[in-house]
Homo-oligomer: A and B are copies of this chain.
């Protein structure tokens, strides 16, 4: 147990084991903190369908403030996950779109999401049991 198959660019399949050294754990932790904020995954997920304008994206995500959408998009743009295209019209139009890197990021992130959906029930049960014993 404890492996994961991950497709590579060349079409081969990579067999994956747990990171056992500290460096690997740090890299894992860093990317998780990077995408583990409140909005990043929601934004990237919505852009997975195709490019969206600022307010389209805001409506699609739902519940996000204007400030946080701007902040999140700037971060994604800086890291190369998203492109920002300005059309110099009046009123202005700005399109956001996932880069190839952004699409590739979505692959392992989606795998983690799939795991989450499959195991929410087990986590909920563990939580209720714990709270019942300690509450």
Contact = CB atoms under 8 A, between A and B. Distances in A.
A114 B53 CA distance: 32
Given A32-B32, A122-B101, A27 B107 contact: no
Contacts of A108: 4, 108, 111-112, 114-115
A80 B42 contact: no
A79 B78 CA distance: 34
Interface residues of A, number: 67
Nearest to A36: B36
A80 to B, nearest CB: 3
Given A16-B107, A112-B112, 14 more contacts: A1-B103, A4-B107, A16-B111, A18-B45, A18-B110, A26-B42, A28-B41, A28-B109, A28-B112, A30-B116, A80-B123, A80-B129, A105-B119, A108-B111
25 contacts: A1-B103, A2-B106, A2-B107, A4-B6, A4-B107, A6-B111, A6-B115, A16-B107, A19-B45, A19-B113, A20-B45, A24-B113, A28-B109, A30-B116, A31-B112, A33-B36, A78-B130, A79-B126, A80-B122, A80-B125, A80-B129, A101-B119, A101-B126, A108-B108, A111-B111
